[in-house]
Amino acid sequence: MYVAVKGGERAIDNAHAWLAEERRGDKAVAELGVAQIREQLALAVNRVMAEGSLFDPDLAALAIKQARGDLIEAIFLIRAYRTTLPRFGGSTPIETEAMVCDRRVSATFKDAPGGQVLGPTFDYTHRLLDFKLAADGEVAPVQTGTPYEGATPHIMSFLDREDLIQREPEGADVPADLTRMPLELPASRALRLQSLTRGDEGFILGLAYSTQRGYARNHAFVAELRIGSVAVEMEIPELGFAIEIGEITATECETVNQFQGSKTQPPQFTRGYGLVFGMSERKAISMALVDRALRWKELGEDNLGAPAQDEEFVLYHSDNIQATGFLEHIKLPHYVDFQSELELIRKLRREAQVPKAAQAESAEASGGNLSGKMKEGAVT
Amino acid sequence: MSDYNFAYLDEQTKRMIRRAILKGLAIPGYQVPFASREMPMPYGWGTGGVQVSAAVLTPDDTFKVIDQGADDTTNAVSIRRFFQKTAGVAVTEATAEASVIQTRHRIPEQDLRSDQILVYQVPIPEPLRFLEPSEVETRKMHGLEEYGLMHVKLYEDISQHGDIATAYAYPVKVEGRYMMDPSPIPKFDNPKLEMAGIQLFGAGREQRIYALPPYTKVVSLDFEDYPFQPTKADHACDLCGSEVSYLDELIVDDQGGRMFMCSDTDYCATRRRQGHVGTQGLPHKEDAA
Amino acid sequence: MEAHILEGGFANIPIDAAHAFRAVMTAMARPGEIFEISGAQPPAPLSVAAGAVVLTLCDPETPLFLAGGFDTPQIRDWVTFHTGAPFVGAADAMFAIGVWESIPFPDLARGTSEYPDRSATLIVEMDALTNTGAVLEGPGIKDQNYLSLPETALFQENARLYPLGLDFIFTNGGNLAALPRTTRVS
């Protein structure tokens, strides 16, 4: 005799309790503080902010703690929180020209006003595990100097002066918000950039890499990569002017790409653009390359059939919260559908195993008679 | 009740979803785009259905959630709890007592009444998606009512297998106009799509809502000489003895022994309470102990 | 701003809107059936029902057209205060409100073949709303329904455009009925 098992509710409660215990780990080890994550795992915090589309280092750190270090899970927590926040309005565009740069490098010029500033980069570290760090994380006192007071103009502005780079005039319209309206194709560049900046770092990186290896290669040079803090300003209708409402850290990458021209137009460089919350330069560079690849149509280039050129492919698959949800949902019960497939395959196999003679006999009655006429087609 | 707004979503989001539902009802089978929100459960776990339910529920409703036909599957439990907490609605496992039923993969066995609403969780709302991956292209096809791709696919199934090789999410045509994916219900359930209740379909990740008003004409695609056949396991339920309900197949021992039981747990329990007993079922009273 | 402009909205917004939407949705799903709807006290000539529909569906994302005698400062102020819906001409409207004779039907959006949902929804204020007169058939109707429609020709033409077309909500006092583009009227 069979008695159906009921236990969904208790199973869920038990799983949650176990999860909480595992998250805490060995209680003999001190608990991780949110501030520690924010300060010492800052690049993880940056990624969660960028892909969560919410600039709040404390909440991102909390999400990382709650997610046991699973960054996609942490991004999901931030997204689900973000969607409950009321929208007060849009800021004015941030002035990255006025960024207080921690890092600023150009690959296209040896030097430029504002200089090359390496900043806190891994670039020239030797990737040797530092066993000393395991025991003692103290750092030596750092040298200080006088901050650079001059301007740090965009490298692109120098090319712009000579008309060597394609102009990007300011758009008149306030761009649509990807999180407030369904994605519609073809998407504007503003929407594509929104999608890329919150897209999965690994996915965008892979696409960018594919362009470098020849799948719609666009010969990118990093004209400039800058990381630092910028003010966020918002127009207050009652005041009639913009006021500063806060400051964010951002990474901006501008690439100079292969020039193009025609008989009527002299050749010009083109550009790709990446802008990401926090210090996220791998993501910003990747974004610039993919942005450039997606611009083939407006620049009159050939569609080479490369994945990075396919707007629909890129935009519909870059979101890791959507992707991981749909991917992981296949572990949920599907036994009703599987049962219907079971019945079908058993039936098809039964029919396929009918002796050949019998098959020939019935050929006229079944397959031979297929009219191909759909009944639904008759409905008007 | 919780600190969140009634039924979790903010009012502006609900209005946006409500407008999409109305257009969906006005154009049966057409997929209305909507700005799906991130929900506190993952995409793929029924976020579309949850958003539709959130936009539809009132505090007076009695809510039922089923997954695979069962009320006690973990995700059904999780969604039911979510609305108990955020909307304070009464919940039930009895199909007849529910005013709103959210479902994944099944239509209840019992006919729904005109005052009942069935909300489906939909993974891929586009019936042509696996034949044409591009949304731009499939949208054009719907606009032109150009459904040749599906016609060819079903035709090829028959020439290759001697049968249409689609067992669930079996495509239908609505009011002679839109081809529609009925969500991954077994094709056994397709005839029930013409019903007295209101049917709403929500696809969160894909940002689409569609609907079937009561008594809308819904035709499962087929050919004149290969008529549509709803199928189920050729058994009776081993618990309640029903010969007409959709069955789950369970492996009960390491010898490959099988048993069959109703996928619709409320239907099965109701029958057993009424005294029906299958070959492996226990009489009702002992079962409840 | 006059005091009454600030009044007449839903007292308990999430709950009142949920009930009102259930009425509107059921009406749209069952064309011709008459339902009660309440919770709003809009300035005349808007009825309680029309006011409740506006509060339920309109917000800053829904351009609204006020037809003829419904384009009054009182109604504008009330709608603005309670919903923030922007006022537009008929051609750009997602919702249009007025009495039958005042509505410029040819100007209203019917949707496109790829997006038939991008069409106007009309809220038509009626002198009376009864289950008599025109015969309705189609999705949502088991056999036939009857509704006191102002005419039949326009609805027949509307149904011919399917899947494009206009969708109608008829209001009178605290009652409403709906008629989507799928309904065949004779």
For residue C103, the Cα-to-chain-centroid distance in whole angstroms is 12
Query: Which of B8, B12, B18 to mutate to test binding with chain C, by most C CBs within 10 Å of its CB?
Result: B18
Is any Cβ of chain A less than 8 angstroms from the Cβ of B127?
no
- Is B240 a residue of the active site? yes
Q: For this structure, is B176 an active site residue?
A: no
Strand partners, B62: B90
Tokens 């019935």 map to which residue?
A: A362
CB atoms within 10 A of CB B60: 12
**Cβ neighbours of C140 in B, within 8 Å:** 25, 213-216
- Pairwise CA distance, residues A316 & A323, whole Å: 9
Interface check for C17 against chain B (CB to CB < 8 A): the answer is yes
Asked if A340 lies within 8 A of B188 by C-beta distance, the reply is: yes
Residue in chain B lying closest to A374 (CA)? B223
B159 at the A interface (CB within 8 A)?
yes
Residue spans of the domains in chain A: they are 8-82, 96-123+147-170+177-329, 334-366
C139 close to B (CB below 8 A): yes
In a domain, C49, yes or no: yes
Distance in Å, alpha carbon of B287 to nearest chain A alpha carbon: 7
The answer to whether B6 faces chain A, any CB pair under 8 Å, is: no
Six-digit token pair at B68? 């695979």
Residue A182 with chain B: CB contacts under 8 Å: 33-36, 207
Is the bond into A186 cis (omega within 30 degrees of 0)? yes
Q: How far is A136 from chain B (nearest CA, A)?
A: 40
Residue-level pLDDT, tens digit, chain B, 289 residues: 446 789 999 999 999 999 999 999 999 999 999 999 999 999 999 999 999 999 999 999 999 999 999 999 999 999 999 999 999 999 999 999 999 999 999 999 999 999 999 999 999 999 999 999 999 999 999 999 999 999 999 999 998 888 898 999 999 999 999 999 999 999 999 999 999 999 999 999 999 999 999 999 999 999 988 999 999 999 999 999 999 999 999 998 888 889 999 999 999 999 999 999 999 887 766 544 3
User: Is pLDDT above 80 for C4?
Assistant: no
User: Which one of B2, B27, B60 makes the best mutation probe of the C interface by having the most chain C beta carbons within 10 Å?
Assistant: B27
Of B43, B221, B261, nearest to A322 by CB-CB distance is B43
Q: Which of B163, B249, B280 sits opposite A339 (nearest CB)?
A: B249
Count of pairs with CB atoms under 8 A, one residue in B, one in C:
120
**SS3 of residue C84 by DSSP:** coil
- Residues of chain A short of pLDDT 50, as ranges, are 363-369, 377-380
Cβ–Cβ gap C142/B214 under 8 Å: yes
Does residue C176 belong to any structural domain of this protein?
Answer: yes
Task: Assign C1 a pLDDT band (cuts: 50, 70, 90).
Answer: very low
Q: Does B165 touch chain A (CB under 8 A)?
A: yes
Catalytic residue status for B24: no
**What integer pLDDT is reported at residue C2 of this predicted model?**
53
Do the Cβ atoms of B278 and B237 come closer than 8 Å?
A: yes
CB contacts of B158 in chain A (<8 Å) are 367, 370
Contacts of A41 (CB under 8 A, 6+ apart): A61, A64
pLDDT tens-digit map of A135-185: 887 888 888 888 888 899 999 999 888 889 988 888 877 888 898 888 889
**pTM of the predicted structure, to 2 decimals:** 0.91
Find the helix or strand (DSSP H, E) in which B148 lies.
helix B148-161
What b/e string do you get for B15-34 counting C-beta neighbours within 10 Å, with b at 16 or more?
bbbbbbbbbbbbbbbbbbbb
Instruction: From the candidates B49, B204, B240, B281, give the one annotated as an active-site residue.
Output: B240
In this complex, do B248 and A329 lie within 8 Å of one another by their Cβ atoms?
A: no
Q: State which residue of chain B sits closest to A348, comparing Cα positions.
A: B161
- Kindly list the residues from chain A whose CB atom is less than 8 angstroms away from the CB atom of residue B222: 374-376
Interface test with B, best of C28, C113, C162, C183 (most B CBs within 10 A): C28
Q: What is the pLDDT of residue B168?
A: 95
Question: Which residue shows structure tokens 């497939």?
Answer: A341
CA pair distance B128, B151, nearest whole angstrom: 11
In chain B, whose CA is at the least distance from the CA of A378? B176
Q: Where are the beta strands (DSSP E) in chain A?
A: 100-105, 221-236, 241-260, 268-277
Name the residue among B24, B32, B57 with its Cβ closest to that of C18: B57
Is C186 within a domain?
A: no
Q: Quick one: average pLDDT of C170-177?
A: 98
- The domain total for chain C is 1
Pair B191, B233: CB distance under 8 Å: no
Instruction: Point out the residue among B158, B231, B263 whose CB comes nearest to the CB of A343.
Output: B231
CB atoms within 10 A of CB B246: 25
Of B223, B239, B246, B250, nearest to B273 by C-alpha is B239
pLDDT of residue A357: 53
- For chain B, the three-class secondary structure string (H helix, E strand, C coil) is CCCCECCECCHHHHHHHHHHHHHHHHCCCCCEECCCCCCCCCCCCCHHHHHHHHHHCCCCCEEEEEECCECCCHHHHHHHHHHHHHHCCEECCCHHHCCEEEEECCCCCCCCCCCCEEEEECCCCCCCCCCCCCHHHHHHHHHHCCCHHHHHHHHHHHHHHCCCCCCECCCEEECCCEEECCCCCEHHHHHHHCCCCEEEEEECCCCEEEEECCCCCEEECCECCECCCCCCCCCCCCCCCCCCCCEEEEECCCCCCEEEEECCHHHHHHHHHCCCCCCCCCCHHHHHC
Per the structure, the complete domain to which residue C59 belongs is given by 3-181
- Measured between beta carbons, the chain B residues lying within 8 angstroms of C56 are 15, 18
Q: Residue C85's closest chain B neighbor by CA?
A: B12
In degrees, to the nearest 5, what angle opens at C-alpha C54 toward C-alphas C52 and C60? 140
Question: How far away is chain B from the Cα of A219, in angstroms, using its nearest Cα?
Answer: 28
List subunits contacting chain B, requiring 3 or more Cβ pairs under 8 Å. Answer: A, C
| pLDDT at residue A175, as a whole number | 87
The yes-or-no answer on residue B48 being catalytic is no
CA–CA min distance A120, chain B (Å): 35
Please tell me if residue B37 touches chain C, with a CB cutoff of 8 Å. Answer: no
Which residue in C19, C94, C117 is closest to B58 by CB distance?
A: C19
Nearest to A74 by CA among A93, A98, A104, A51: A51
Which is catalytic among the residues B29, B46, B49, B281?
A: B29
Residue C30 forms contact with B (CB below 8 Å): yes
Q: Do A321 and B38 touch (CB under 8 A)?
A: yes
Check residue A6 and give its pLDDT. Answer: 63
Set of chain C residues whose Cβ sits within 8 Å of the Cβ of B21:
25
Q: Annotated catalytic residue: which of B204, B262, B278, B281? A: B262
C82 inside 8 A of chain B by CB: no
CATH of the domain at C131: 3.40.50.11310
Residue of A nearest to B279 (CA): A1
| The one catalytic residue among B202, B204, B268, B281 | B268
**Min CA distance, B209 vs chain A (Å)?**
11
- Say yes or no for a CB contact (<8 Å) between A340 and B74: no
Of B12, B27, B217, the CB nearest to C117: B27
B281 catalytic, yes or no? Answer: no
Tell me the C-alpha distance between A164 and A185, whole Å: 31
Question: Which residues of B fall within a CB distance of 8 Å from A316?
Answer: 135
- Which of B93, B129, B224 is the best residue to mutate to test the A interface, defined by the most A CB atoms within 10 Å of its own CB? B224
Give the residue carrying structure tokens 């066995």.
Answer: B109
What is the C-alpha to C-alpha distance for residues A331 and B54, in angstroms, rounded to an integer? 25
Question: What is the predicted pLDDT for the residue at A59?
Answer: 98
Q: Which residue of C has its CA nearest to B17?
A: C57
Neighbours of chain A (3+ CB pairs under 8 A): B
